[in-house]
Amino acid sequence: MDYKTSGVDIEAGREFVSEIKKAVESTHTSNVIDGIGGFGGLFRIPIDGLKKPILVSGTDGVGTKLELAQMKNFHFEVGIDLVAMCMNDIITSGAKPLFFLDYIATGKLDKKQLLRVVQGISYGCGENNCSLLGGETAEMPGFYSKNKYDLAGFCVGIVDEYNLINGKKVSENDLIIALKSNGVHSNGFSLVRKIIQNNSQIHEEFEKVYQLNFYDELLKPTKIYNNVINQILSENIEIKAMSHITGGGIPENLPRCIPSEFIPYININSWEIPFLFKFLQEKGKIPEKDLWNTFNLGVGFCLIIDKQFKDSILNICKGHNIDSWEIGKIVRKNDSKISKFLPEILT
């Protein structure tokens, strides 16, 4: 027996690295030292103009969205998802992304399939001036089934300590600005898959009502908010805190970015929850509380700001074709009026 007989094709792995080289190197900035192929990626830290540089890192995956994406051949899209899930996290601190690494594990290397994944990762990085510095592809027969793969991503950014955004400046009556999501993004898919499993005609029902392809809408890649945030900060607009709305929805993620003596008051009438979420709620008979605590419901990212910056931020978002609006404000936890106007679902 040899390694290939056991299910691992070393030569196919080498060919795959050769095929993805162009996509990877297209993302490289002048700070990348050498190319791909070594045991570690080398990156020159751009510290010019920074008094106290801090590196910010984040790691994440795409979750069980991969199950549906692989079934429907949305490989490019989940590559973008992978970048978005990591990059949206680190930019909440005000960091600019520097480089990204990926890890792909599969039962059997499908070069055509995984090339599309890497092209999606490269696209997500390239659109945000972030270098795809390297990665790892592991062929693991017997652990993953033949047609399955899993993804993990790692993103590193940089911010001056003097410009670090950590929520400490948040105060009462600050405004909360919502940035619209692309859809479900990459959270809640264990529930989505269960709904699909229990509704065999869901695709046809959705298309009949909305005249749109169900899986095209469901598997849209996660929106990456780096460019719009970068422009806001570059125009000397102060953002006091930011939140990436992922698993747990608004109730879990928004409070994470503000001091413990405050809570967010959300005006749930300030936006129309997108029809895809309402459709899923109806088909899955999802209780209201579970809906809010599972999905982003159309809100992919939140900013906490002083009211003087509201119009400027909304205009910048519009220039990036991102819908944005005032979704609420910051209130004190011990405010006796809270129980009267804070929706019970968010307490």
CATH number of this structure's domain 175-346, picked from the four choices 3.90.650.10, 3.40.50.2300, 3.30.450.40, 1.10.3720.10: 3.90.650.10
Residue-level pLDDT at 8? 63
Count, in order, helices (H) and strands (E) of the chain.
13, 11
pLDDT band at 6 (very low <50, low <70, confident <90, very high): low
Q: Give the mean pLDDT of the chain.
A: 91
Mean pLDDT of 143-159: 93
Task: Supply the pTM of this predicted model.
Answer: 0.93
Residue-level pLDDT at 18? 74
- The domain ranges of the chain are 10-163, 175-346
Question: Which sign does the torsion angle of CA 213, 123, 152, 105 carry?
Answer: positive
Q: What is the pLDDT of residues 254-298, one digit of tens each?
A: 999 999 999 899 999 999 999 999 999 999 999 999 999 999 999
CA angle 77, 191, 344 (to 5 degrees): 115
**Could you tell me which of 64, 109, 104, 102 has the C-alpha nearest to residue 84?**
102
> 346 pLDDT exceeds 70?
no
Provide the CATH topology of domain 10-163. Answer: 60s Ribosomal Protein L30; Chain: A; (3.30.1330)
Mean pLDDT of 70-82: 96
